[in-house]
Amino acid sequence: AGVLAAHKITASSPDTDLPTVSGLRKMGVNFTVSNKDTVKSSDVLFLAVKPPIIPFILEEVGPDIEARHIVVSCAAGVTISSIEKKLSTFCPTPKVIRCMTNTPVIVREGATVYATGTHADVEDGKLLEQLMASVGFCTEVEEDLIDAVTGLSGSGPAYAFTALDALADGGVKMGLPRRLAVRLGAQALLGAAKMLLESEQHPGQLKDNVCSPGGATIHALHFLESGGFRSLLINAVEASCIRTRELQHLADQEKISPAAIKKTLLDKVKLESPSLSVASASKVSLFTNKSKKN
């Protein structure tokens, strides 16, 4: 996204057949199958694996972690303290930052929050913020809010996709061709979101501005209210947040032997894996080395 030169980025994945791999290669990112190599050649490490895999990865790269490294975990439900605990056997003061982002980073409209660990400095946090701000909105939060963020903006795109699918259905029912209905629905939500972000006004006020007395919109809104639209959304955010906490709790409680870890890891890697890659970026002085690549 223009903040960092692609060749300063190294990505590693055990499985080289993944579409993500070829995509990254096309961008000019350095690629390796060795997590160890990645760690050695980088300053900032993004752990982009599924939460259950995190402990295994940390075991693997732990010995190579040095004081300079900033370990950034995007794994849902994995706490800073669990990562620090794992790494502390290898490095006395590991710098850990936990972040939660969402899929629209792909189109540079992500929503990212991060919380800094015990040994991460203010500049480390700012570095991450600058990186993630290039793909959307990014701000620091207290770690205990990350579950709520997951429920809202982490899962949020799914709620939006569901809404858009249904809105398109509505359009189709009333006679629009599907493609047009999808396009218009998406644009409507995009536009509304943009208006809200750029306006000082409360969403309730913006809603009122659209509702002319006795008009079409207010009739439609009445239907939404009758269906408990608002409460459904509140329920959704709540459920996602609670489930995140549950999963975190389950993860914290898991105690698996290292040997079993290694075996499971290899098997899992070969079988599962769409999002199994560890990408990392070199630390650059951001005030002088901004690159326009990618």
Residues contributing to the site for other proteins (CB under 8 A):
201-205, 208, 222, 225-228, 230-231, 234-235, 238
Q: Is 51 annotated as a binding residue?
A: yes
Q: How far is the CB of 36 from other proteins (least distance, A)?
A: 42
Q: Is 76 annotated as a binding residue?
A: yes
**164 vs 218, beta carbon nearer other proteins:** 218
Q: How far is the CB of 229 from other proteins (least distance, A)?
A: 9
Q: Is 85 annotated as a binding residue?
A: no
Q: State the Cα–Cα distance between residues 149 and 264, nearest whole angstrom.
A: 31
Q: How far is the CB of 225 from other proteins (least distance, A)?
A: 4
Beta bridge partners of residue 140, listed in sequence order: 114
DSSP letters along 170-225, please? HHHHTT--HHHHHHHHHHHHHHHHHHHHH-SS-HHHHHHHH--TTSHHHHHHHHHH
Q: How far is the CB of 43 from other proteins (least distance, A)?
A: 35
Per DSSP bridges, beta strands 70-73 and 95-100 are parallel
**230 vs 262, beta carbon nearer other proteins:** 230
Whether 39 and 20 have beta carbons less than 8 Å apart is answered as no
**225 vs 246, beta carbon nearer other proteins:** 225
Q: Is 48 annotated as a binding residue?
A: yes
Whether 240 and 151 have beta carbons less than 8 Å apart is answered as yes
Q: Which one-letter amino acid corresponds to residue 46?
A: F
Owner of token pair 């982009």: 48
Q: Is 13 annotated as a binding residue?
A: yes
**142 vs 254, beta carbon nearer other proteins:** 142
Q: How far is the CB of 228 from other proteins (least distance, A)?
A: 5
Structure tokens, 284: 């650059």
Q: Strand locations in 35-141, DSSP E?
A: 44-48, 70-73, 95-100, 110-116, 136-140
Q: Is 158 annotated as a binding residue?
A: no
Q: How far is the CB of 127 from other proteins (least distance, A)?
A: 28
**226 vs 288, beta carbon nearer other proteins:** 226
Residue 284 three-state SS: coil
Whether 115 and 140 have beta carbons less than 8 Å apart is answered as yes
**201 vs 217, beta carbon nearer other proteins:** 201
Q: What is Dmax (Cα atoms) for the chain? A: 69
Could you tell me which residues are annotated as the binding site? 13, 35, 48-51, 74-76
Could you tell me which residues are annotated as the binding site for NADPH? 35
Could you tell me which residues are annotated as the binding site for NADP(+)? 13, 48-51, 74-76
